[in-house]
Amino acid sequence: MLTFDEIIAWLREENPRRLSRLWNKADSIRRAAVGDDVYLRGLIEISNYCIRKCAYCGLRAGNHALTRYRMTAEEILACTHEAVRFGYGTVVLQSGEDPGITREWMADIVRRIKQTTPLAVTLSLGERSDEDFRTWRDAGADRYLLRFETSNPTLYRYIHPARSSQPESDRIGLLHTLREVGYEIGSGVMIGIPGQSHRDLANDLELFRRLDLDMIGVGPFIPHPRTPLAPDHEEISACDDQVPNSELMTYKVVALARVICPETNIPSTTALASLNRAYGREMGLMRGANIVMPNITPPWYRVHYEIYPGKASSRESPNQSHKSMQRCIEAIGRHIGVGPGISKTFTRRS
């Protein structure tokens, strides 16, 4: 088991020869713990409405430059049927924090997906009430993704301000609720948020272990011009021990997450692929990841789901996304996983 100091040392490591030991270790742990299958999760970005004002995110309320959309139930269901045709075992329904997504509307969609497809359903709809979580679970939803973004409380409050007259957001608390309600739970962080130190990131990794997460998604922070963390007017500046939002740092965190949580599901994320369009996704899979999330949102909506600029595959059709993922998995000698790809951590626990 890696100690806190060892985690820090790896995060600061720059020597390619020593780093190759980390890559090899992560890759062999991945193979032994979860095998060579790469599971595909079809991502459907169902709404870009958002009532929050997160300092990092392009969907934040107040970004009036963004065209807002919410897909209809029929459009969402059509996408899920496309996911089945592509052979995916899971769909991920993701949105901003959108009160227009009501408890009953969402529950009905989940029920219809579960009735008409064999898909596992993952929800990623932000911070919602316990009652919403329970209703959607009862309707058949299998998993919930909610990144805690950073375990540093001061930094978190700054980048993720509470809504006016609402209590502070407590995503760790919500993750506990989600687990109790019976979901497979996923979380994660951004890498290189201005003000994030190497110690913060090491704490994030230790928190992944303590939460015993079923899924861990990490990606580089990519500044969005219409947010307070835009490149030219970063409100909080880099700290002394600032973590770079680099491709290399992202690989280190993916690899360490695998070493620390061997049996969890780890995606090679789109944010990583956005930093290295040619090989980012493959390299993530070769350094600990076992999941990819092809985007199957209809292209005319997808262009408006601009969390950060320059998102990889933002202009591809679902068919093209599918083909490029397939090629990438085969190119590195791995296989496409069949079925829902339930996390081993979850099966063990239940």
Q: How far is the CB of 204 from ligand 5AD (least distance, A)?
A: 12
- Sole binder of ligand 5AD in the list 190, 201, 257, 286 (CB under 6 A): 190
Residue pair 288/22 in contact (Cβ under 8 Å)? The answer is: no
Does 222 bind ligand 5AD (CB under 6 A)? Our answer is: yes
User: By CB under 6 A, which span of 157-165, 219-227, 296-304, 314-322 interacts with ligand 5AD?
Assistant: 219-227
Residue pair 70/47 in contact (Cβ under 8 Å)? The answer is: yes
User: By CB under 6 A, which span of 150-158, 214-222, 250-258, 335-343 interacts with ligand 5AD?
Assistant: 214-222
Interface characters, 139-158, with ligand 5AD (x: CB under 6 A): --------x-x---------
Interface characters, 223-252, with ligand 5AD (x: CB under 6 A): -x----------------------------
d(CA 350, CA 332): 33
Q: Of 245, 253, 332, 260, give the one whose Cα is nearest residue 292.
A: 332
d(CA 274, CA 222): 9
Q: How far is the CB of 217 from ligand 5AD (least distance, A)?
A: 8
Considering only residues 242 to 301 of the shown chain, the ones binding ligand 5AD according to CB under 6 A are 271
- Sole binder of ligand 5AD in the list 11, 109, 307, 325 (CB under 6 A): 307
Written as six digits, the tokens of 137 are 């679970």
Residue pair 249/191 in contact (Cβ under 8 Å)? The answer is: yes
Does 308 bind ligand 5AD (CB under 6 A)? Our answer is: yes
d(CA 347, CA 350): 5
d(CA 289, CA 26): 9
Does 46 bind ligand 5AD (CB under 6 A)? Our answer is: no
**Residue 219 or 334 with smaller CB distance to ligand 5AD:** 219
Does 219 bind ligand 5AD (CB under 6 A)? Our answer is: yes
DSSP percent split of the chain into helix, strand, coil, nearest 5: 45, 15, 40
DSSP string, 131-169: HHHHHHHHHT--EEE---B-S-HHHHHHHSPPPTTSPPP
Binding site for ligand 5AD (CB under 6 A): 56-57, 147, 149, 190, 219, 221-222, 224, 271, 307-308
